C-alpha cells in the first residue's frame, strides 16, 4: 500500500494500520520501515477482537483484515483474510473510494 499511498490520499482516505505487537516493537519496525500511514500497536487486541480479526492457531496467528469506512462512519467494505496473503488489491480499494466520494457529491446527506 505504501507505493500507492498518494493515490489513497488523493481519494480523501487515511490508512490506519493496527498491529498486534507491543508499542515498543511496533514503533521500532514502523520507524525502520518509514511507513506513511497512521499506525497503532493494539497489543491488548481490543480493537482487533472488537472488529473480529480472525486468529488461526494452525497458521500461527492473526489473519489480515481490511475494512473501508466512509465519511459517514459506515462500513462499506470488509474483508477478513483466511491466509497471510489474502489481502484485497489496491486497485479495487481505490476504485471503491472513488465511488464513495462520488456518492458524497451526489447525496451529500
CA angle, corner 78, sides to 59 and 103, nearest 5? 160
Nearer to another protein, 27 or 91 (CB): 27
| Ranges within 43-62 binding another protein (CB under 8 A) | 46-48, 50-53, 61-62
Compute the distance between CA of residue 64 and CA of residue 17 in angstroms, rounded to an integer: 11
Residue 100: Cβ-neighbour burial (10 angstroms; 0-12, 13-18, 19+): buried
Establish if 3 lies at the interface with another protein (CB under 8 A): no
Q: How far is the CB of 12 from another protein (least distance, A)?
A: 5
Compute the distance between CA of residue 45 and CA of residue 53 in angstroms, rounded to an integer: 9
Q: How many residues contact another protein, by CB under 8 A?
A: 57
Site of interaction with another protein (CB under 8 A): 1, 8, 11-21, 23, 25-27, 29-31, 37-42, 46-48, 50-53, 61-78, 80, 84, 93, 97, 100-101
Amino acid at each position: 500500500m505504501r507505493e500507492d499511498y498518494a493515490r489513497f490520499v488523493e481519494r480523501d482516505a487515511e490508512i490506519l494500520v493496527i498491529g498486534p505487537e507491543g508499542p515498543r516493537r511496533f514503533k521500532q519496525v514502523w520507524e525502520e520501515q518509514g511507513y506513511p500511514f497512521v499506525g497503532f500497536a493494539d497489543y491488548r487486541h481490543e480493537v482487533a477482537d472488537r472488529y473480529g480479526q480472525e486468529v488461526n492457531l494452525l497458521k500461527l496467528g492473526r489473519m489480515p483484515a481490511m475494512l473501508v469506512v466512509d465519511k459517514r462512519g459506515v462500513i462499506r467494505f470488509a474483508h477478513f483474510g483466511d491466509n497471510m496473503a489474502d489481502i484485497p488489491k489496491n486497485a479495487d480499494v481505490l476504485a471503491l473510494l472513488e465511488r464513495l466520494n462520488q456518492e458524497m457529491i451526489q447525496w451529500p446527506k
